[in-house]
């Protein structure tokens, strides 16, 4: 008899969840264009953002997303210092150019086409050691803003 009560309660809960999902606003696509997204202002050198041009293409503020997709241009000599995120994973793809990634073993060469994944808590970064621009597409999974990412820069 106890099992029957539990099964009925589970079925009733499932019906309520399904009903609530149907009543919720339908999902809506978000679309933008690189030319329409402003560069992030106020990124400080002391926080590891050295001469970077950063755009948050998709985030909590613009798309209501619980992740971030970004576009970064690093001019020669620019770098994103060694850092980590306590609340999200990060990936980046080297779309154009070359430089060095920061790893647990020091700096390692990185070239166009590289795909790098850093789980939460893993130190990482990128240094444009070349004489040409580097373009990165990157994302945070699990945080929709820098404030919620648990960002920490490593001061060496």
Of 11 and 97, which is predicted with more confidence?
97
Distances (CA, A) of 117 to 9, 12, 91, 101, 113: 42, 41, 4, 11, 13
pLDDT tens across 69-108, in order? 999 999 999 999 999 999 999 999 999 999 999 998 899 9
* Tens digit of each residue's pLDDT (9 = 90 or more) over 119-134: 999 999 999 999 999 9
Select from 124, 44, 123 the least CA-distant residue to 92: 124
State residue 54's pLDDT score.
98
Q: Is the pLDDT of residue 48 over 70?
A: yes
Single pTM value for the model: 0.81
Closest CA to 92 of 140, 150, 143: 140
């Amino acid at each position: 008899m106890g099992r029957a009560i539990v099964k009925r309660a589970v079925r009733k809960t499932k019906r309520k969840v399904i009903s609530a999902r149907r009543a919720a606003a339908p999902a809506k696509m978000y679309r933008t264009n690189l030319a329409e997204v402003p560069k992030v202002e106020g990124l400080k050198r002391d926080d590891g953002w050295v001469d970077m041009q950063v755009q948050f293409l998709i985030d909590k503020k613009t798309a209501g997303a619980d992740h971030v997709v970004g576009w970064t241009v690093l001019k020669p000599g620019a770098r994103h210092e060694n850092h980590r995120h306590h609340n999200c994973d990060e990936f980046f793809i080297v779309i154009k150019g070359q430089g060095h990634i920061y790893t647990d073993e020091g700096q390692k060469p990185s070239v166009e086409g590289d795909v790098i994944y850093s789980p939460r808590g893993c130190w990482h970064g990128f240094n444009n050691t070349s004489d040409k621009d580097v373009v990165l597409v990157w994302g945070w999974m699990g945080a929709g803003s820098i404030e919620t990412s648990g960002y920490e820069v490593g001061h060496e």
